[in-house]
Amino acid sequence: MMHYKWPLLAAGLLLFALLPWGLGAYHQHILIVSLFYVMMAASWNLLAGYTGQVSFGHAAFAGIGAYASGILAAKAGINPWLGVAAGTLLAALFGLLVGMICLKLGGIYLSLTTLAFSEILHIVINNEYEITRGTMGLQVPGLLNTYSKPGYFYIFLAATLLTLGIVYRLIHSNAGLNFRAVLNDERAAAALGVDVVRVRVLAFTVSSALAGMAGALYGHYLLLITPHIPSLDQQFLVLSMTVIGGLGSFAGPIIGAFSLEILSEYIRAYGEYHVLAFGLVALIVARFAPKGLVGIFRAVWEKRRQAALRPLQPAGRRAGEV
């Protein structure tokens, strides 16, 4: 399997990149939204899956990116591309600040602080409606002068690849080893000289920056920025996608984001049921298959491999097999 990994991936990517030409506007929209969620899920996974910090403020950082970029573009006439850069930087800055406040304590305190941050942002956006237009929504210019769905698709594809690339490099670097050390056993890692807090702050800042970028791009795609972007509902979606896809795995967020977004469009015909349906699936997966779809797939693959390697042994459960 290892030999074919990279060429297979490249071929798949090429096919994927050609999709817009075979699909209608509606389906292209679904793909673009899915890519947005891939970016969000992958960056959240960096924090939760690889560093063990459950942040409930991820959507808030996306919101910071979106609103910063949107307000600059709509009120100050700044070029949306520059706006996206500004949004990303601002999100990174806030990530650093929030990280420094709560990462020392970690665990539940981090979750609560990020939740608090998310809610404060929500309230500020709603109240300062003269600038943000609150629940009425802020209309912003797009990234392209002439609206073109395939155009946006490629922008999002590029950004997604960038995000995934950064996450990949980070996980497979020295810093990434530190992440996993901290995740597995904090005390042991500290004893070995890993600066636990610095590791967490790094992950948090990068993760927030990526969310900010995703949010800014999304805002300029929708041409409308509303407090829905930095909302707990969005946070829930990102969380479920990662959990169902596979927390702590690289492919998990990707699979989760696509599956859930496509599924959600399909279920949308049934109206109000789709959030409940998702939630139930997420609950069942979280409870019975914590490693998500990727985990299930891996377990199946492992089992078949083991079975193939031991044709003469009687079939049976041994310690260590799933």
Partner 1 sequence: MLALSITNGLVIGIIYALTALGVSLVVGIMNVVNFAHGEFYILAGYFSYLFAHTMGLNPLVAMVLAVGAVFVFGVVVEYTLIRPTYGDDLYSLILTFILSIVLQSAYLLIFGPYPNKPPNWVKGASDVFGLFMYGNQRLAALFAGLAVIGIFFAMLKLTWFGRMIRAASQDREMAELNGINTRRLNMLSFGLGCALAAAAGVILAPVFPVTPTAGVPVALTAFVVVVLGGMGSMPGCVVGGLVLGLVENLGAAYISTGYKHVFMFLILILVLLVRPSGLFGRAET
Partner 2 sequence: MKKRLILMGIVMAAIGMVLTIGPAQAADTVKIGVVGPRTGGAAATGQAFEEGIQLATAYVNAKGGVLGKNLEVVFQDTAGDPEKAASGFERLVTRDQVAMVLGESHSSAALAEIEVANRLKVPFVVVEAWADPITAKNYRYVFRAGPSNSGVVNDTIAKWVAYEGFKKAYIVAENTDWGLGIAELTEAALKSAGVPYESLVTERKSQDHYTELTKIKAYDPDVVLAFVYGTGLHYFIAQAGEVGLTPKAVVLDGAGPPSLWPDFWTNVGDYGNLECFVSSMHEKVELTPLATEFREAYVKAFGKAPTDYKSRSIYDAILIAADAINRAGSTDSEKVVDALEKTDLLVTRGTAKFSTEKGGPEYHHWMPPMLVIQWQDKEQVVLYPPEGATGKLKR
Rounded-to-integer distance, Cα 120 and Cα 116, Å:
6
Residue closer to partner 2 (CB basis): 23 or 194: 23
- Cβ-contact 31, 20 below 8 angstroms: yes
Residue closer to partner 1 (CB basis): 123 or 307: 123
**Residue selected from 10, 16, 107, 307 as contacting partner 1 according to rule CB under 8 A:** 107
**Which residue pairs from 111-119 have beta carbons closer than 8 angstroms and sit at least 24 positions apart in sequence?**
111/54, 111/55, 111/56, 113/57, 114/55, 114/56, 114/57, 114/58, 114/60, 115/56, 115/57, 117/57, 117/60, 118/56, 118/57, 118/59, 118/60, 118/230, 118/232, 118/235
Residues of this chain, 257-296, that bind partner 1 according to CB under 8 A: 272-273, 275-276, 279-280, 282-283, 286-287, 290
- Asked if 313 is part of the footprint of partner 2 (rule: CB under 8 A), the reply reads no
- Cβ-contact 32, 153 below 8 angstroms: yes
- Cβ-contact 104, 197 below 8 angstroms: yes
- Asked if 148 is part of the footprint of partner 2 (rule: CB under 8 A), the reply reads no
**Residue selected from 29, 119, 194, 251 as contacting partner 1 according to rule CB under 8 A:** 119
Residues lying near partner 1 in the complex (CB under 8 A): 48, 52, 54, 56, 101-102, 105, 107-109, 111-113, 115-117, 119-120, 123-124, 126-127, 232, 236, 239-240, 243, 247, 272-273, 275-276, 279-280, 282-283, 286-287, 290
Residues lying near partner 2 in the complex (CB under 8 A): 23-27, 29-30, 126-127, 129, 134-137, 139, 147, 222-224, 226, 228-229, 258-259, 262-263, 265-266, 271-272, 293, 296-297, 299-300, 303
